[in-house]
Amino acid sequence: MKRRLLLLLTAAAALGACASPRGAAIEAPVRDLTHQLITTSLIEEGKTVRLEILVRKPDGSGPFPTVVFNHGSTGRGDDPSLFGRSWSSSSAADYFVERGWMVLFPQRRGRGASDGRYDEGFTADRSRYACEAARSLPGVDRAIEDLDAVMAHVRTRIDVVQGSILIAGQSRGGILSVAYAGERPDAFVGVVNFVGGWMGDRCRDAPVINAATFSRGARFPRRTLWLYGEDDPYYSLSHSKANFAAYVAAGGKGNFESRRVPGQNSGHTLIAHPHLWREPMDQYLESLR
């Protein structure tokens, strides 16, 4: 019971913890969420790494079309207490479950209840996320390794329709989803990117880091959906549109949608306002049939 209560509390706080601006809406705990620890082939310090996955299922026995939904960062990466918070989105879970999709929220190494070290591109002293491309970009490769471990598990699940897997993510999870789909172009039927970026645009190397990472996704053969909020304090709309242009120039396909989110500097919390993105998401899911 204590573990269950902790998961619910951290899910409620997670949107704010994952780099949401001051005054942003905080999502309610995800209903009917179950916690799983999966064994992986990852090894750290001679030990097998287990990764946490939070699961929300529709009614019925399945199998279900499935969304692998990836979490973002923790703001500037300067507060290690946030690393242990498991992330999920009630808005995303409700939306997909109502349409018959199962939603999996994997927590990468060192995040939530997952084993291992959280090491997705830090400064040498680990005081914050690194702005230098040479230190930041290896963190993308590490996150891709984690997703490989997650997808190896997903392929064994009898409750998953193996030919109907969508990958999606929020913030750092959004850009990771695009990049990963390009690295594994046959694994998914679609990609949804909510306010994605690896490093905020105040970082000097952000244009290089983000454009290069998004461009890795260009090998994905289908159209993708990019959903962004105006007045995002981490990714200005002009920066995000430049990332989309780099993705398209590299051969990627997709639709870029932007919305005005209520509140000052609230664009990064778009995911918590499904009435703003429900229509383009409905259209996108319909296009996957």
pTM, to two decimals? 0.90
Q: Which domain holds residue 271?
A: 2-287
Percent of the chain scoring above 70 in pLDDT: 90
Query: How many domains, the chain?
Result: 1
Which pLDDT band holds residue 31 (cuts at 50, 70, 90)?
confident
Q: pLDDT-based confidence at 283, cuts 50/70/90?
A: very high
Residue 20 has pLDDT above 90, yes or no: no
DSSP string covering the chain:
-HHHHHHHHHHHHHHHHTTPPTTPPPPPPPTT-EEEEEEEEEEETTEEEEEEEEEE--SSS--EEEEEEE----TTS--GGGTT-----HHHHHHHHHTT-EEEEEE-TTSTT--S---SSB-TT-SSB--SHHHHHHHHHHHHHHHHHHHHHHTT-TTEEEEEEEEEEETHHHHHHHHHHHHSTTS-SEEEEES--SS-TTSTTHHHHHHHHHHGGGG--SEEEEEEETT-SSS-HHHHHHHHHHHHHTT-EEEEEEEPPSSTT-GGGGGG-HHHHHHHHHHHHHHT-
Q: What is the CATH number of the domain that holds 227?
A: 3.40.50.1820
Mean pLDDT of 251-267: 96
